[in-house]
Chain A
Amino acid sequence: MTRTLFIGLDGATFTVLDNITSDLPEIGVTMPFLKQFMETGVRAKLRSTPNPLTPPAWVSIMTGRTPGSHGVYDFVRYEDKGQDVYFTLYDSRDIRTETIWSMASRQNRTAVALNFPFTAPPRPISGSLVPGFVPWKHLRRNTTPPELYDRLKEIPDFDPKELAWDFEKENQTLTYMSTDDLENWVKYHIIREEQWFRVAEKLLTEDSPDLMAVLFDGTDKLQHQVWEFLDPGIYPTHNTPWQQQMRKSCLEYFRRLDGYIQRLVEIAGPDAQVFMASDHGFTATTEVVRINAFLHEKGYLTWRKVDNSEAEKRREASNFANLDWEETLAYCPTPSSNGIAIRVAKKPGEPGIKPEEYESFREKLIQDLENFKDENTGERIIQAIYKREDVYSGDALLEAPDLTLVLRDYGFVSINNVLPPVEPRKSPQGTHHPDGIFLAGGKGIKSGFEAERHNVADVPATLLYSLGLEIPSNLEGLVAKSFFTDECLESKPVVTGATTASDRAPEVDNQSGNITEDEKDKILAQLQMLGYLE
């Protein structure tokens, strides 16, 4: 029997949801089920991670820990090698703390997890897992248990190419699109969401896991590109036939999503508690801030000289910084990081500042960033600049960017070698806002209640409580007690239990692949068992 249904809605925001659950002239209610769910349940704002971004926020939702503990800050991980910087993607092995899938599994609860980021390569689970953010070519090998993929093929019209993450398409999220591209973008995500719903429907119906969790991420992808057709502050000014058609298409996506949510809640049954959450909210960004161009002007970085080779063109077009690493002292590694890395020389003669210069260098950099101002109004372009120790703590602190920036319009920076450093956008685009949504409904949940704002790290504690499990004492998040009725809390008090297990792979120095002697002995023994050693 499914006790707990968790529906993730990437980037969902009350700005849009309150609008499309209202009875609008000539449109009506786009999401009637969600309207009823919010009216008869609990709603709250949900504060994201310091950089309100999919990777750190969803990993906090999966672990109950903040990024300084769980260790995931961005899509892309960068390793400073001195003469060079190596960029690669984060994966499940980078999560340093236990996930809720593992917590539930080791306490005899079954779980299904669909489309969550950084769940590949998959870890053991008592249930099923189909990872998110994995291209179709690698979906089969990263789905667990191994026989699950063949079960998915039983779904009529199942198509991994439609379901899975398209690396090329996702790279368009923060770029400008033509009108045709925008129309296709909405259609593409309608089709993708249908695929994920069919998978969720099958596994919920056939397996009835104790914890059923599915993430719909089209909400985020649409809002990045078609925000102007969803923001109630912008779309009423749009009157051309094409603009009105685009809004209709966007609403069609949300209408279908409402149907998927309704169906999953119905299958879960009247005894299940249902939770929905987003990793961050959304708002409008109206300007491009080219942070590396600004840092170049201030002498902190040097652009790499690019020749006309295909390899160099590909590298220049990539979403991570392409710089002269011999000369660069501070830089923004990726647009999504909204952060600045300061390069400290590991030994004399290597690129970077001397360790003893770190504090004074960082203060000077902060001062320069504070003085990055709108020429017309004098307003700061960057509304907040956080030192890493101001907003993060934990074993992974030193992997955070040295500075995290909050732009005045919450936009993501550009790292392109283009001037001027700040420029108005042609039209407003969607960007992440720190406040997302947290909803609950079902047996034992209050009705028509608006709760105080919670933190993304509170989500797994709340789900564990719903599952009837103890809350590990080292979770940084708390159970959202105010969501539950007094009767529910009295009959099933919140109990704090043992700390989480560590499900991380052996401690490895990411910079070099070096491992401790103890770990080396263990690995040699494993390799011998596998027949690799003579």
Chain B
Amino acid sequence: MQVTETNIHSTIINILQDMTQEWELELDGITGNTKLVEDLSFASVDIIHLVVTLEEHFKQKLGFDQLLMRGGRYVDDLSVGEIVTFVTQKLNG
């Protein structure tokens, strides 16, 4: 049994739309190319809350440190597409 990236994509978009609905962002919409920091004004604490929300939704820890840290440094930004790919891979174990 495998989860599909399409399914995860729409789920994560929905979560982000719900999360940011009161943030007063000037944005046409959220797509796979949308960046958390650049486009959605995420601060580090917002990324932590997104991680918690996704892990709660999928009912398991997903080891997000592997996505958030690269070469010993925290990444500057992440696209929705990168998160979708990571979550899909993790769920498919």
Q: Which residues of A contact B (CB under 8 A)?
A: 79, 81, 83-84, 86, 88-89, 91, 93, 120-121, 134-135, 137-138, 140-141, 167, 310-312, 315, 325, 505-506, 508-510, 512-513, 515, 519-520, 523-524, 526-528, 531-534
Contact = CB atoms under 8 A, between A and B. Distances in A.
Interface of B: 1-4, 7-8, 11, 18-20, 22-23, 43, 45-46, 48-49, 51-53, 55-56, 58-63, 65, 68-69, 72-74, 76, 90-91, 93
A107 B28 CA distance: 48
Contacts of A311: 73-74, 76
Given A141-B19, A532-B8, A523 B59 contact: yes
B2 A533 contact: yes
Contact of A79 (B3, B55, B65, B72): B65
Given A83-B72, A86-B65, A135-B46, A121 B56 contact: yes
Pick the most buried of A88, A93, A167, A524: most chain B CB atoms within 10 A of its CB: A88
A88 B48 contact: yes
Contact of A515 (B2, B11, B60, B76): B60
Contact of B73 (A140, A315, A526): A315
B19 A81 contact: no
A531 B7 contact: yes
A382 to B, nearest CB: 31
Contact of B3 (A86, A137, A519, A532): A532
Given A81-B69, A140-B22, A527-B3, 11 more contacts: A84-B69, A121-B52, A135-B46, A519-B60, A523-B59, A523-B60, A527-B59, A533-B2, A533-B3, A534-B2, A534-B3
Nearest to A79: B65
Given A533-B1, A533-B2, A137 B72 contact: no
A524 B89 CA distance: 14
A33 B19 CA distance: 41
Contact of A528 (B1, B49, B53): B1
A519 B58 CA distance: 13
A79 B20 CA distance: 29
A527 B72 contact: no
Contacts of A88: 48, 51, 65
A193 B93 CA distance: 46
B46 A138 contact: yes
A532 B7 CA distance: 7
Contact of B61 (A510, A531, A532, A534): A510
Contact of A532 (B51, B65, B91): B91
B18 A141 contact: yes
Contact of A137 (B23, B59, B61): B23
B7 A137 contact: no
Pick the most buried of B2, B4, B49, B93: most chain A CB atoms within 10 A of its CB: B49
Pick the most buried of B60, B62, B74: most chain A CB atoms within 10 A of its CB: B60
Nearest to B42: A137
A167 B45 contact: yes
A140 B20 CA distance: 11
A513 B18 contact: no
A325 to B, nearest CB: 7
Interface secondary structure of A, over-half rule? mixed
Nearest to B70: A84
Contact of A513 (B4, B48, B62): B62
Nearest to B77: A311
Nearest to A134: B49
Contacts of A81: 65, 69
A325 B58 CA distance: 32
Contacts of A120: 52
Given A315-B74, A523-B60, A524-B1, A91 B7 contact: no
A369 B56 CA distance: 42
Nearest to A160: B22
Contacts of B8: 532
B34 to A, nearest CB: 16
Contacts of B18: 141
A513 B7 contact: no
Contacts of B93: 520
A133 to B, nearest CB: 10
A135 B49 contact: yes
Given A121-B56, A533-B1, A534-B1, A89 B90 contact: no
A141 B65 contact: no
25 contacts: A81-B65, A83-B72, A84-B72, A88-B51, A91-B52, A93-B52, A93-B56, A137-B19, A137-B23, A141-B18, A167-B43, A311-B74, A312-B73, A505-B59, A508-B61, A512-B63, A520-B93, A523-B60, A524-B1, A526-B59, A532-B7, A532-B8, A533-B1, A533-B3, A534-B3
A138 B61 contact: no
Contacts of B2: 533-534
Contact of B72 (A140, A310, A325, A528): A325
A350 to B, nearest CB: 14
A187 to B, nearest CB: 23
Nearest to A138: B49
Contacts of B65: 79, 81, 86, 88
Contacts of B20: 137
A510 to B, nearest CB: 7
A311 B73 CA distance: 8
A138 B43 contact: no
B3 to A, nearest CB: 4
B50 to A, nearest CB: 9
A135 B59 CA distance: 23
B21 to A, nearest CB: 9
